[in-house]
């Protein structure tokens, strides 16, 4: 479904970014080196969107991006969909004392063009569910279309 989002919306300005991590039971069993890691995901799952290096997403030594998400994760970015259709997700996470972000792999963080966290969808919400699509489309309609790549050769 992430590839479908990328295919459908990349030309309109959406960037899908996969962030592998061993913070969830060491499920990333592919080689550690960056080139092999990206090649594995692209060949195994046939994705064309960017894939980062394995990244620490939990704890004090988490990547700065994830530290910022923890700071800005509020009820406003946890959509009503989660509260109405998956309330067990929120209560289970707080009962287990799991941080409000990155509770498990495949969390989806929607960040706008200014870097502001706009929505968070848990792992069990498919990226193509209507509320996810609506959130993305609402952000993209206010975004200037990306500039096409330059075809001219710069002069000195």
> Which two three-digit tokens encode residue 118?
């706009």
pLDDT beyond 80 at 50: yes
What is the Cα–Cα distance from 41 to 2, expressed in whole angstroms?
13
CATH 3.40.50.2000 fits 2-141, yes or no: no
As a whole number, the mean pLDDT across the chain is 74
What is the Cα–Cα distance from 108 to 6, expressed in whole angstroms?
13
Q: Which residue has the higher pLDDT, 128 or 105?
A: 128
**Confidence band for 89, pLDDT divided at 50, 70 and 90:** very low
Radius of gyration of the chain (CA): 17
Q: Is 12 left (phi over 0), alpha (psi -120 to 50) or beta?
A: alpha
Quick one: which of 120, 114, 118 has its CA closest to 143? 114
> Which two three-digit tokens encode residue 56?
């620490």
Segments making up each domain of the chain, as ranges: 2-141
pLDDT beyond 80 at 31: no
CA-CA-CA-CA torsion sign (125, 143, 14, 11) = positive
């Amino acid at each position: 479904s992430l590839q479908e989002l990328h295919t459908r919306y990349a030309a309109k300005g959406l960037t899908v970014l996969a962030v592998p991590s061993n913070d969830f039971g060491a499920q990333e069993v592919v080689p550690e080196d960056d080139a092999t890691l990206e090649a594995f995901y692209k060949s195994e799952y046939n994705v064309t969107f960017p894939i980062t290096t394995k990244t620490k997403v939990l704890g004090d030594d988490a990547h700065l991006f994830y530290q910022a998400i923890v700071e800005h994760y509020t009820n406003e970015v946890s959509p009503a969909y989660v509260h109405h259709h998956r309330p067990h997700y929120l209560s289970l996470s707080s009962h287990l004392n799991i941080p409000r972000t990155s509770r498990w792999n495949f969390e989806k963080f929607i960040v706008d063009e200014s870097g502001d966290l706009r929505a968070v969808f848990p792992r069990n919400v498919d990226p193509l569910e209507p509320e996810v699509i609506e959130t993305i489309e609402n952000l993209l309609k206010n975004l200037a279309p990306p500039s096409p790549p330059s075809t001219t050769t710069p002069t000195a």
